[in-house]
Amino acid sequence: MDNYTLTEEQRMFQQMVRELAVNEIEPRAAEIDEKGEYPWDIFELLKENDLLSLPFEEKYGGQGADMLTCCIAVEEIAKVCGSSSLILAGIELGATPIKIFGTEEQKEKYLTQIASGEKQVAFGLTEPEAGSDAASMKTKAVKDGDFYVLNGQKCFCTNGEIADIYSVFAMTNPEAGVRGISGFVVEKGTPGFTIGKHENKMGIRGSMTTELLFDDCKIPLENLLGPEGKGFNLAMMTLDRTRTVVASQGLGLAQGALDYAISYMKDRVQFGKPISKFQGLQFEVAELAMEVEAARQLIYRACAMVENGEPGFSGVSAMAKCYATDVAMKVTTQCVSLIGGYGYMKDYPLERMMRDAKITQIYEGTNHIQKLVIARQLFGK
Ligand SMILES: Cc1cc2nc3c(=O)[nH]c(=O)nc-3n(C[C@H](O)[C@H](O)[C@H](O)COP(=O)(O)OP(=O)(O)OC[C@H]3O[C@@H](n4cnc5c(N)ncnc54)[C@H](O)[C@@H]3O)c2cc1C
């Protein structure tokens, strides 16, 4: 049922990732969550199976995969482990600004290293006082001879402490407001750049979320991404594309929770029969399944629009992100209830899926902000 818009090649790819996820990632998922450590073994596994290089052009060592194929991989991994799905989602988020605005030299240098798995990437937009209102950022980049000097602080950066390459946004002209923001590539080890607080999170505990601190951090002029003053556009163009990926994480978590609940319900006997025989519960599961499938189709549509650069793709990718991640929260929460007390226990995966689902409603723009994006498209700015 979930395959009718996929090509034969995409279906085979989906099956390959599904088997990898079930056989190699699922058995590690509870431990990754419990320990709260970055799953380097899963990173290596994805590298060995050429999944890190999916979204990059062949000339940079990539597979040249389309948006939907990348999203299929994220969905399949998220079905069994939300944290592990962030390995691919983090690459999409961090590398997309370089893909969009990078010069040939920047792409050759950075995308090649990211595609090979030699280096990891992160995206630094959010600041302690500039979240949804990212344009009110305080981090400054001042031109000084052959360098820009960065001062300020980013927070909640996924991959913060493990990345080597960072797409960072800073004010180059504060008087120009939103048109005074520029994008940069910052490399780990640049003097004046350090990692701050490591966040202790509710979910996606195998993803490292940290502050980035810039104190007179000098970065070469050639690390500017695109024209000066176009950084905010670049950040928004990135999110317009990568929201399909977060949507797919939500979808994977929802489908994974539903699959688990259905299989549990077939085995769990109460009142002398499997609880799956109770029509009240069957109807509840049927409704959840409808919403999961609707989310999938919206994501597939958004991926096709992003891929073709169709007008209005930004609104539809915001719809997909908002809808699929709300479905993820609803489905995972109801699946905990559907299996009863065991749903609440850490010996079973559903409580982890519920905690992991929560973040998908928040990052890459909260779902309130997605509605803002959709409404702007409907009503104009
Ligand atoms: C685990 C994690 C990982 C993250 N990874 C990254 C990353 O890699 N890179 C990065 O740059 N950022 C990252 N973020 C930041 C994330 O994108 C922000 O947390 C998010 O955009 C919300 O910003 P905020 O937390 O400051 O909330 P706020 O902006 O303070 O929002 C608070 C509440 O107000 C609502 N709100 C705000 N403005 C409006 C409005 N105009 N209309 C209606 N409601 C509104 C919000 O929806 C929310 O409910 C991450 C966050 C988390 C928690």
The predicted structure's pLDDT at residue 11: 96
Fold for the domain defined by 121-231:
Butyryl-CoA Dehydrogenase, subunit A; domain 2 (2.40.110)
Average pLDDT score, the chain? 97
**Mean pLDDT (whole number) for 345-370:** 98
Pocket test for ligand 1, best of 362, 367, 373, 381 (most atoms within 8 A of CB): 362
Domain 8-115 has CATH 1.10.10.10: no
SS (HEC) of 279-333: HHHHHHHHHHHHHHHHHHHHHHHHHHHHHHCCCCHHHHHHHHHHHHHHHHHHHHH
Cα–chain center distance at 376: 23
Name residue 153's beta-bridge partners: 213
Mean pLDDT over residues 344-359, rounded? 98
125: Cβ below 6 Å to ligand 1? Answer: yes
Q: CB neighbours (10 Å) of residue 146?
A: 9
Stated length of the chain: 381
Cβ proximity of 243 and 320 under 8 Å = yes
pLDDT digits over 182-191, tens only? 999 999 999 9
Q: Quick one: the chain helix, strand, coil %, rounded to 5? A: 60, 15, 25
In this predicted structure, the answer to whether residue 1 has a pLDDT above a threshold of 50 is no
- Positive/negative CA dihedral, 311, 315, 316, 321: positive
Looking at residues 233-237, what average pLDDT do you find?
98
Residues 6+ apart with CB under 8 A from 44: 117
Question: What phi and psi values does residue 219 have, to the nearest 5 degrees?
Answer: -120, 140
Residue 24 has pLDDT above 80, yes or no: yes
Count other C-beta atoms under 10 Å from residue 175's C-beta: 7
10 Å Cβ neighbour count for 362?
15
Q: What is the CATH number of domain 232-379?
A: 1.20.140.10
pLDDT band at 29 (very low <50, low <70, confident <90, very high): very high
Contact between residue 189 and residue 16 where contact means Cβ atoms under 8 Å apart:
no
Q: Read off the pLDDT of each residue in 325-337 and give the average, rounded to a whole number.
A: 98
pLDDT score of 53: 98
In angstroms, rounded to a whole number, what is the distance separating the alpha carbons of residues 234 and 359?
23
Q: Is the CB of 156 under 6 A from ligand 1?
A: yes
For residues 3-32, average pLDDT: 93
Please give the average per-residue pLDDT across 129-150, as a whole number. Answer: 98
Per-residue pLDDT, 5: 77
Range 196-220 average pLDDT:
98
Amino acid present at 258: L
Going by C-alpha positions, the residue among 314, 339, 302 that lies closest to residue 235 is 314
To test ligand 1's pocket by mutation, which of 126, 165, 236 has the most ligand atoms within 8 angstroms of CB? 126
Q: Is 10 helix (H, G, I), strand (E, B) or coil?
A: helix
Q: Count CA within 13 A, CB hemisphere, residue 118.
A: 10
Residue 340, exposed/middle/buried by CB under 10 A (0-12, 13-18, 19+)?
middle
Q: Tell me the C-alpha distance between 133 and 128, whole Å.
A: 11
For the record, the structure tokens of 145 come out as 């001879």
| 373 has pLDDT over 70 | yes
In the predicted model, is pLDDT for residue 379 greater than 90? Answer: yes
| C-alpha to C-alpha distance for 288 and 271, rounded to whole angstroms | 24
Residue whose entry in the numeric block shows the structure tokens 């994220």:
74
Position 3 scores a pLDDT of 44
> Is pLDDT at 193 greater than 70 in this prediction?
yes
Looking at the CA of residue 128, tell me the nearest atom of ligand 1.
26
Domain ranges of the chain: 8-115, 121-231, 232-379
Strand, coil or helix: what is 353?
A: helix
Please answer whether residues 209 and 126 qualify as being in contact, where contact means their C-beta atoms are separated by less than 8 angstroms: no
Q: What is the pLDDT of residue 107?
A: 98
Whether 158 shows a pLDDT value over 50: the answer reads yes
Residues labelled catalytic: 364
198 pocket-lining for ligand 1 (C-beta < 6 Å): no
